[in-house]
Structure 1
């Protein structure tokens, strides 16, 4: 057995050397990246040197671990469509669009390299640097897999070397660490770049992040401190999960922690997040709105129905998103994650989805926010017909889930949800959707309704301070169907293009590519600066006026937004959805298939 392990280890090293040599020799358009280690293949762990998180003794050690997951027995349906042959002129147009996106990425990446290397972000107007996520080089790590996917080999090698040599997760100057953001950006970014490239330096660094984050689970009930005082933990001080915790920050760690367990063979990471999933599953049928969890949960008391507001958008979003994605990662068409996903979608359709009132009457949906209260044991609810940019991931979520579970109804809702966000984009003079808005709604979400200006005006009157609706619409330049725009910013978010990408990959319909290009031209015109692209303060400015730039470019611009735009114009076999699943920061992980990783 020992001889066998050494033989496998030698073969793995040779494969890494060959992959490194091959990387610069050929186009990657249809080439499969090298396979990383699989469960059962020996993993050479770095030595337990002076890295504090490997030496730290836990106050509440876990004494029994759930076993590593293996691929489900189900043969899941394919996610990707069968793509028709492409006409030469259509291919030429697609490649020109793809290359334009790549050029925009290179522009933003160059600004980061020249002005903020190894810092979290570059300011795209003034060319300054700032740290927003621990000072661990968020833009660098978030961009690693995009660099690989876009075949920017020299920049990828330089970024990997910098991450390996110059970024340490031993400590930070930040007072607290957001465990969720650190997981999706840093752990997710490193694991995905490892899955794509097979570079062992990335896995070693991901293991460092995993060791650090696992210390946040050292609480009496083994639920994490989501806004975490890393420094107190390093001193060995006692810590406990918080009574007020966002659902998304508690329920969106599963993909990254499970993937880390799969590639290292260390079951404790998967054990930690599986415990959360089991608590969510137990609570789901018995919440005030069965099938859904509130935005706020009490992690200290393990109460997953502590809050009163239920939504799929901000602060809850990725907890729902990860349900079908965990099913995809593990190859399970039934069981814990698939069942929770199915129940949550049915509850969303019953309680959250609404049809917006629009001049065209096109069939579309948005998920609103449900406010629940309990009086004398009876639950009363009120639906707020809001439409934040963050909810625009839902179309893609249902497209993925609908394909995995072969549910045609979910696929129909996916198209309607995605069309809703595209309508919101088209409705604004800049061609870009605002961060948050309130909409007038049809009385019946099941079918479109005819345009009625009086219904729109009544919605404006309810949403705004006292005043005449026509004057409010004129003064605030409200597009037809919009009742209020509380936050008119665009901060380079990826959620809408994410759903358009998934609709294209699941249907093969090239019209989704055309919609994506319209989105891109509007976004680039709105946000471009001489250095890169910047968030803007107001997408609803008067015609002819340029919106003021916010001088901000979060790492997800390079890690998510530009990646999805690039992939929708790339060959569909590049990062196939039948082989990969994206985390909420658009980092692709190899799906577990047939009991092995990526096989």
Structure 2
């Protein structure tokens, strides 16, 4: 009798578990995002300048590329998340909840006035950019809620009649693609294709090179033209996203569109006044490289960032990207990188600008927070192409950015500043007289002036610190990250979320700006979360990050 009762109990328990599993399965299916097409099918738009033959993606099996991430043995306690990760997670939850409450569906949250804003076309940039962060952090309920909204966004017309091609690509399109790469939710790929077809219209110009804006009125009349004085990173930083869209859909037209820009860069190399690099502004319309200023900062940054990343995404099948990277990185290393003169002789690097005047090259040691990405770029190039010197450069650049956070009472780095440079990257002795004559006595020794004292929650510094941690396994990078984190928490916290800071040199409670840009949730907090996570979460040999922190799967 007792055996029969036990058997009946076991059967009932098993049946209950089966019913629970079916219920959870059906609920998960019902909560999955449903693709809703935009109000207009952009593949039906008129074409005034047909592209001609479409170039297919490179053919063949991906090459076995060198490992980017350090071996598991290089990491301390690789199977356990660092307890500091929970602090990042709680901060993310608080910031995301504020966005949901006050700005759901808008491009970004204004955390002081507690309202939504739409500076990027009104397509919900923060929401789309946060999808992959939600997935990575294990917030699946929040992910599916946001994915349902994203899959139904109508990419028919922007609020202002035009959208920035670059920003919409690296934010919205990349966010959708990355979320699909992680979740395999087909609705997100359909919506990414929907958006990709809209953005593809921007290439309908006489020379198939796009302009800064995708303007609907001009597109409908066939009046689109490439710009004559555009940032060099504008068109050249679309290739990662458009190539990934072609890889996922099997339609090569997106890859073909941006590959034409790569070939343009190749053709223009001999025109450049600083061989190996391209000026910060380019005449795309007349296909002329006339500028005399060269930088890894604003206007040029992601042009160079995407060279090794495209090599990885294409599985090493297009050697063009290695050739272009080597030329650019070697030139930047020779003319732009400098070691600051500091009392303690710290072995760190920064990247300034160069200007070609007649036959002379003038180097200006002004650094930008944006340029902190360069540590990760040099590290990736060093790993992929077996250039040990570049990995060393990447480490010194990443440590330099982390060091700059420690130099101010807020614990934050300003947007633009100068440091007194040594004459050689091998260093120099401290010169007190030079400091008294050229330095800024209101700042720590070694500093020049601060052109822009703001901090707006940027991700580039923690991006490189995270990447160099994963590339080397050195625990010191997590300690550097935590020190940066404490400064950010101390100075940017607002009543409901986090804000940019107007002046990092202020003591006490610095004045805040009414901004929480989408990259706070999309990239800054994601990189902090990942550096304190086990190293197999978003492994660098399986993923490559776009310029806004969105991981795309590599063909391996």
User: TM-score, normalised on structure 1?
Assistant: 0.85
1:70–1:330: 8 Å Cα contact kept in structure 2?
Answer: no
SS at match of 2:509: coil
1:215-234 matched pairs, under 5 angstroms: 215-233=201-219
**Do residues 412 (structure 1) and 392 (structure 2) align?**
yes
SS at match of 2:505: coil
Query: Counterpart in 1 of 2:379?
Result: 399
2:376–2:398: 8 Å Cα contact kept in structure 1?
Answer: yes
Question: 2: CA distance between counterparts of 1:422 and 1:96?
Answer: 21
Q: What's the offset of the Cα at 1:530?
A: 2.1
Question: 2: CA distance between counterparts of 1:195 and 1:556?
Answer: 19
Equivalent residue in structure 1 for 2:411, among 415, 428, 431 = 431
1:115–1:129: 8 Å Cα contact kept in structure 2?
Answer: yes
Equivalent residue in structure 2 for 1:178, among 154, 164, 187 = 164
1:231-242 matched pairs, under 5 angstroms: 231-233=217-219, 235-242=220-227
Q: What's the offset of the Cα at 1:228?
A: 2.8
CA RMSD of aligned residues (A): 2.2
Equivalent residue in structure 1 for 2:255, among 251, 254, 270 = 270
Question: 1: CA distance between counterparts of 2:148 and 2:37?
Answer: 21
Q: What's the offset of the Cα at 1:426?
A: 1.4
1:422–1:496: 8 Å Cα contact kept in structure 2?
Answer: yes
Question: 1: CA distance between counterparts of 2:145 and 2:155?
Answer: 19
Q: What's the offset of the Cα at 1:73?
A: 5.3
Question: 1: CA distance between counterparts of 2:25 and 2:343?
Answer: 57
Deviations 1:163-205 (A, max 9, x none): 122x211101124311000000011000000010000110111
Question: 2: CA distance between counterparts of 1:71 and 1:342?
Answer: 24
Q: What's the offset of the Cα at 1:524?
A: 1.1
Deviations 1:20-56 (A, max 9, x none): 959989xxxxxxxxxxxxxxxxxxxx99985242210
Question: 1: CA distance between counterparts of 2:110 and 2:315?
Answer: 41
Deviations 1:223-251 (A, max 9, x none): 01122323431x33421111111011121
Query: Counterpart in 1 of 2:434?
Result: 455
Change over 3 Å in CA distance of 1:373–1:86 after alignment to 2: closer
Equivalent residue in structure 1 for 2:239, among 250, 254, 259 = 254
Q: What's the offset of the Cα at 1:286?
A: 4.2
> Where in structure 1 do 4 or more consecutive aligned residues deviate above 6 Å?
22-25, 46-49, 85-88
Query: Counterpart in 1 of 2:133?
Result: 146
Q: What's the offset of the Cα at 1:573?
A: 0.5
Question: 2: CA distance between counterparts of 1:72 and 1:440?
Answer: 49
Equivalent residue in structure 2 for 1:130, among 91, 99, 117 = 117
2:161–2:215: 8 Å Cα contact kept in structure 1?
Answer: yes
SS at match of 2:278: coil
Question: 2: CA distance between counterparts of 1:113 and 1:328?
Answer: 36
**Do residues 109 (structure 1) and 96 (structure 2) align?**
yes
Question: 2: CA distance between counterparts of 1:580 and 1:22?
Answer: 31
Query: Counterpart in 2 of 1:244?
Result: 229
Query: Counterpart in 2 of 1:342?
Result: 326
SS at match of 1:362: coil
Query: Counterpart in 2 of 1:62?
Result: 51
Change over 3 Å in CA distance of 1:457–1:79 after alignment to 2: same
User: TM-score, normalised on structure 2?
Assistant: 0.91
Change over 3 Å in CA distance of 1:91–1:528 after alignment to 2: farther
**Do residues 562 (structure 1) and 525 (structure 2) align?**
yes
Question: 2: CA distance between counterparts of 1:270 and 1:197?
Answer: 23
Q: What's the offset of the Cα at 1:370?
A: 0.5
**Do residues 388 (structure 1) and 368 (structure 2) align?**
yes
1:80–1:576: 8 Å Cα contact kept in structure 2?
Answer: yes
Q: What's the offset of the Cα at 1:285?
A: 4.5
Query: Counterpart in 2 of 1:37?
Result: none
Equivalent residue in structure 2 for 1:536, among 478, 501, 504 = 501
Question: Which stretch has the larger CA shift, 417-426 or 530-539?
Answer: 417-426
Question: 2: CA distance between counterparts of 1:381 and 1:85?
Answer: 42
**Do residues 314 (structure 1) and 298 (structure 2) align?**
yes
Aligned pair count reads: 530
**Do residues 443 (structure 1) and 423 (structure 2) align?**
yes
Question: 2: CA distance between counterparts of 1:572 and 1:592?
Answer: 19
Change over 3 Å in CA distance of 1:334–1:457 after alignment to 2: farther
SS at match of 1:427: coil
Q: What's the offset of the Cα at 1:84?
A: 3.1
Question: 1: CA distance between counterparts of 2:41 and 2:384?
Answer: 41
Equivalent residue in structure 2 for 1:551, among 508, 514, 530 = 514
Change over 3 Å in CA distance of 1:21–1:282 after alignment to 2: farther
2:374–2:464: 8 Å Cα contact kept in structure 1?
Answer: yes
Change over 3 Å in CA distance of 1:408–1:22 after alignment to 2: farther
Question: 2: CA distance between counterparts of 1:307 and 1:250?
Answer: 16
Q: What 5-or-longer segments of structure 2 have no aligned partner?
A: 1-20, 30-34
Q: What 5-or-longer segments of structure 1 have no aligned partner?
A: 1-16, 26-45, 461-471, 594-599
2:419–2:447: 8 Å Cα contact kept in structure 1?
Answer: yes
1:71–1:330: 8 Å Cα contact kept in structure 2?
Answer: no
Change over 3 Å in CA distance of 1:104–1:24 after alignment to 2: farther
Question: 2: CA distance between counterparts of 1:501 and 1:231?
Answer: 43
Q: What's the offset of the Cα at 1:534?
A: 0.3
Equivalent residue in structure 2 for 1:488, among 448, 453, 456 = 453
Q: What's the offset of the Cα at 1:70?
A: 3.9
Question: 1: CA distance between counterparts of 2:338 and 2:526?
Answer: 30
Question: 2: CA distance between counterparts of 1:183 and 1:296?
Answer: 20
